[in-house]
């Protein structure tokens, strides 16, 4: 069997991370899968590990605008599938060409297009229009595909509710977490062990965006600091400019010297584990997720976690964290205070999170993904589909 991978729509960190990790972790049986061809941008091409069964084809059109990439997917990709005699097309970016000569599997990795309330946060803007177009394109793809991969039960149920009908074949395959993030929890110290010279270090790793609510987290930390708690926080990640302005307004107002509210900017994923291993507590305040990779990474790093109660977060973290409404600074403050004042709770949450994170590995993700692709490819297609 020959598999083709359409990476035309992988232009963000999460999608690129997923494909590069499962390619690296996969152990394929040549009896089932003879080869895998990936059509990719230069950025992604350079990320994919060499494998005997892997053929990476850099397509210059995929380095260009979304309009050019969409044209390539709809016009050129079907011809390439015929030329390479593909038995199945895997499109992890969530969209498909209108016509395919072979079976197709796609993935749901982005909840924003299907959460109409969250998309309203962007007002009248290109981003909101893009989300609307993505919702239409992905809904069409999910309904036409021979198989769809979802990352969480929450995402599966939410997207299918928006679609109004179920995809023909569905698999639930969560992402993994790299081994370098894994670290057994440290013994938790009493609050009195921390001081202005040795504050408790909090960490929030995520893009600064409208649905991530970093400014509410900054306000919560500011309140605790004003009450005398020895606490600092680092915000790590790239930024959507309007959201970054909201965060910087809070920092400029309350901590212009960056003594306890610090924005570190983007960090290479290869270096992120160092930030987790230096932190004492992790915060995650998103209100819209499919499957939050950074939450998984913090769990694997053995950190006590204060977490948003929205979306799939309780599904993933379960009873291993303290929850809050991400749009209520009072609740974020209370959750953080609870963790700060109770070292026993911190230790219990950290160990539970660490143990739960063991269920998530890229090896498992790769094995289940390629098994599902094989299953779909070996199932006769419905006549007249696509």
Angstrom distance (rounded) from CA 95 to CA 90? 10
Give how far Cα 159 sits from Cα of 13, 175, 210, 266, 314, Å. Answer: 22, 18, 21, 30, 18
Low-confidence ranges of the chain (pLDDT < 70): 30, 382-386
CATH class of 2-176+362-377: alpha beta
Tokens (6 digits) for 269: 């994923």
Query: Which residues, 6 or more positions from 71, have their beta carbon under 8 angstroms from its beta carbon?
Result: 61
The whole-number pLDDT of residue 386 equals 43
Angstrom distance (rounded) from CA 58 to CA 120? 36
Domains 2-176+362-377 and 179-357 equal at CATH topology level: yes
Angstrom distance (rounded) from CA 350 to CA 186? 9
Is 179-357 assigned to CATH 3.30.40.10?
Answer: no
The whole-number pLDDT of residue 29 equals 78
The whole-number pLDDT of residue 166 equals 80
Give how far Cα 366 sits from Cα of 33, 127, 216, Å. Answer: 13, 32, 37
Altogether, the residues listed in the chain come to a count of 386
Give the residue extent of every domain in the chain: 2-176+362-377, 179-357
């Amino acid at each position: 069997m020959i598999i083709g991978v359409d990476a035309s729509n992988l232009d963000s960190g999460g999608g690129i991370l997923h494909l590069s990790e499962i390619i690296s972790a996969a152990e394929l049986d040549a009896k089932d899968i003879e080869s895998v061809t990936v059509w990719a941008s230069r950025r992604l091409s350079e990320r994919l590990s060499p494998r005997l069964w892997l053929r990476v084809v850099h397509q210059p059109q995929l380095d260009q605008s979304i309009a050019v990439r969409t044209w390539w997917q709809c016009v050129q990709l079907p011809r390439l599938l015929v030329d390479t005699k593909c038995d199945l097309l895997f499109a992890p970016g969530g969209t498909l060409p209108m016509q395919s000569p072979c079976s197709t599997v796609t993935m749901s990795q982005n909840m924003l297009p299907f959460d109409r309330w969250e998309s309203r946060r962007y007002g009248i803007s290109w981003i909101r229009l893009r989300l609307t177009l993505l919702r239409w394109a992905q809904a069409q793809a999910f309904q036409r595909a021979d198989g769809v991969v979802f990352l969480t039960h929450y995402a599966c149920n939410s997207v299918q509710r928006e679609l109004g009908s179920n995809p023909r074949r569905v698999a639930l395959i969560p992402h993994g977490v790299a081994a370098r993030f894994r670290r057994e929890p440290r013994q938790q110290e009493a609050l009195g062990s921390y001081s202005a010279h040795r504050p408790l270090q909090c960490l929030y790793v995520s893009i600064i965006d409208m649905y991530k609510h970093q400014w509410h987290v900054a306000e919560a930390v500011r309140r605790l600091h004003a009450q005398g708690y020895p606490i600092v926080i680092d915000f790590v990640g790239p930024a959507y400019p309007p959201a970054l302005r909201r965060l910087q307004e809070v920092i400029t107002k309350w901590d212009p010297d960056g003594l306890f509210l610090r924005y570190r900017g983007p960090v290479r994923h290869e270096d992120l584990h160092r930030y987790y291993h230096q932190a004492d507590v992790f915060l995650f305040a998103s209100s819209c997720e499919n499957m939050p990779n950074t939450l998984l990474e913090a769990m694997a790093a053995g950190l006590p976690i204060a977490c948003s109660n929205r979306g799939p977060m309780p599904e993933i973290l379960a009873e291993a964290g303290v929850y809050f409404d991400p749009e209520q600074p009072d609740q974020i403050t209370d959750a953080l205070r609870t963790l700060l004042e109770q070292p026993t709770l911190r230790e219990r949450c950290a160990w539970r999170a660490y143990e739960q994170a063991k269920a998530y590995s890229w090896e498992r993700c790769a094995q289940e993904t390629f098994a599902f692709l094989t299953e779909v490819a070996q199932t006769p297609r419905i006549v007249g589909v696509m």
